Amino acid sequence: MNITVYLGANPGNDPALRIAVRELGEWIGRRGHGLVYGGSKSGLMGELAESVLLAGGEVTGVEPRFFIEAGFEYDAITRLIVTEDMPQRKAKMIELGDAFIAFPGGTGTLEEIAEVMSMVSLGHLDAPCILYDLNGYYAGLRALLSHMIEMGLSTPQRQAGIRFAASLGEIAEILEG
């Protein structure tokens, strides 16, 4: 299974992020899954890719040309796909993924997983869509999704494919259970 993970190129300021992202990467590699991610060597992205590689897994990075020109790519990954821009990058990452995880990240992470959430809710993508709610990181988004239902702007059926997982164990259960 190719697991597309969206996450930041910044390290964040909570040591739990680095620990959790490395555990996720080790699990992906040990279980024989492939990682699809943004291709950067920086921050949490680099930690994730390195941990998958060290666990014997394959890593596919998808990076727009302007990030390559800025030197952000991770040279040690299995495969690097260069796109012309961010929309092509997002489309390629969705095309390659069999499951999608949003690790805690910034606005780019939110924007990328929002597209997957929309595609899942519309029935245009039949794949697990998981928000890794590490230490309640996505609690606000979960509340917003519930509020959408309360306001009659969404339905439980539309949101059925959007899952929240508080731990790696819950992610594993969703993906392999």
- Output the pTM of the full model: 0.96
pLDDT, residue 71, reads 82
DSSP 13: S
171 or 75, which is more confident?
171
pLDDT, residue 83, reads 97
Percentage of the chain with pLDDT > 70? 100
Identify the CA nearest to 160 among candidates 136, 128, 134.
128
Are the C-beta atoms of residues 27 and 3 closer than 8 Å to each other?
no
The CB density around residue 107, as the number of other CB atoms within 10 Å, is 8
pLDDT in tens, 83-137: 999 999 999 999 999 999 999 999 999 999 999 999 999 999 999 999 999 999 9
Percentage of the chain with pLDDT > 90? 94
pLDDT in tens, 47-75: 999 999 999 999 999 999 998 888 888 88
What integer best gives the mean pLDDT of the chain? 96
DSSP letters, 83-95, are: ESSHHHHHHHHHH
Q: Which amino acid does the sequence have at 45?
A: M
Q: How many angstroms separate the CA atoms of 75 and 82, rounded? A: 13
- CATH fold group of domain 2-176: Rossmann fold (3.40.50)
pLDDT, residue 73, reads 84
Domain coordinates of the chain in residue numbers? 2-176
Phi, psi dihedral angles at 54 (to 5 degrees) = -65, -25
